[in-house]
Amino acid sequence: MFPRLDHKITSDKQFAEKRFLVRSARLELDKDNCRNCGVCLNACPNDVITRGAPGASIKTTGDQVMAGVLLDPDSCSYCGVCSYLCPFDALTLFIDGEPVKDEKLQLVIKGALPELDAKEVQLLDGKKGKHFMDGHLEYDEDKCQSGCRTCTNLCPTGALSFEKRDPWQVGEKFVIDRDACIYCGACAFSCPSSAIKIFRDKIMIKGEFSDPFWPDIEKRLLIFHGTFE
């Protein structure tokens, strides 16, 4: 029976696939590139990407392989919005087994998605990322009580740190390097106590686009504030 659906999570990949008699569409997540930022989940126009295990996009526990986000082979329209907006090129859309480059996405060709005015940035692990979102972060010290350091461990650019206070003060202070932050949301998306909120003010784009598709996607990215909101 067609379509045939497949969904699999391995130690290094996750994919969702829908195969018809002569055509196939596949969305693949490279877990080595995924930073658990949640941009794909926020931007998905059909709300079919869901939250998995926070902070576990590239981790395994015994024989159980976990994922920060979960793909849905049935409900996914394979439009490519998630792959287009991923700041770390962790998602790839395949049509009939061939990867689709950003400029070849139908939504780009038809002008539904604008060109991102992105700047290439160096990540801590030597890989490259894209900076195309601006905004600011807010940190609630009262909520941050576990000292888990999930935010600093997952921040791909090293923009977050905890520094010692003056000798007469208790504990550590949370420091944000605003020049290094690319506002991907990995810290806020993964924080187990919702101590960090990200406020995106602008998605940097250039060129023309046709309404109403992109404004709705942009709104989705701009309203994301924190982990479980």
Contacts of 169 (CB under 8 A, 6+ apart): none
Question: How much is the pLDDT for 211?
Answer: 83
Q: How confident is the model at residue 110 (pLDDT cuts 50, 70, 90)?
A: very high
Question: How much is the pLDDT for 57?
Answer: 47
The yes-or-no verdict on residue 70 having pLDDT over 80 is yes
The yes-or-no verdict on residue 117 having pLDDT over 90 is yes
Question: How much is the pLDDT for 192?
Answer: 86
Mean pLDDT, residues 40-65: 69
Mean pLDDT, residues 158-186: 86
Level-2 CATH architecture, domain 4-110 = 2-Layer Sandwich (3.30)
Question: How much is the pLDDT for 67?
Answer: 64
Question: Do residues 187 and 154 touch, judged by C-beta distance below 8 A?
Answer: yes
Q: In the 3-class helix/strand/coil scheme, how is the chain assigned residue by residue?
A: CCCEEEEEECCCEEEEEEECCCCEEEEEEECCCCCCCCHHHHHCCCCCCEECCCCCCCCEECCEECCCEECCCCCCCCCCHHHHHCCCCCEEEEECCEECCHHHCHHHHCCCCCEECCEEEECCCCCEEEECEEEEEEECCCCCCCCCCHHHHHCCCCCEEEEECCCCCCCEEEEECCCCCCCCCHHHHHCCCCCEEEEEEEECEECCCCCCHHHHHHHHHHCCCCCCC
Mean pLDDT, residues 25-34: 94
The yes-or-no verdict on residue 157 having pLDDT over 50 is yes
Question: How much is the pLDDT for 168?
Answer: 66
Q: Would you list the domain boundaries of the chain?
A: 4-110
Q: How confident is the model at residue 44 (pLDDT cuts 50, 70, 90)?
A: very high
At 14, give phi and psi (nearest 5°): -140, 135
The yes-or-no verdict on residue 95 having pLDDT over 90 is yes
Mean pLDDT, residues 117-142: 94
Strand partners, 77: none
Question: How much is the pLDDT for 55?
Answer: 47
The yes-or-no verdict on residue 201 having pLDDT over 50 is yes
Mean pLDDT, residues 196-225: 90
What is the largest distance, in Å, between two alpha-carbon atoms of the chain?
71
Question: How much is the pLDDT for 61?
Answer: 37
- Cα separation of 92 and 110, whole Å? 19
pTM: 0.88
Question: How much is the pLDDT for 225?
Answer: 72
Per mean pLDDT, which of 53-62, 67-76, 113-122, 156-165 is the most reliable?
Answer: 113-122
The yes-or-no verdict on residue 82 having pLDDT over 90 is yes
Type of residue at 49: I
Mean pLDDT of the chain: 88
Share of the chain above pLDDT 90, in %: 67
At 53-64, the pLDDT tens digits run 654 544 433 444
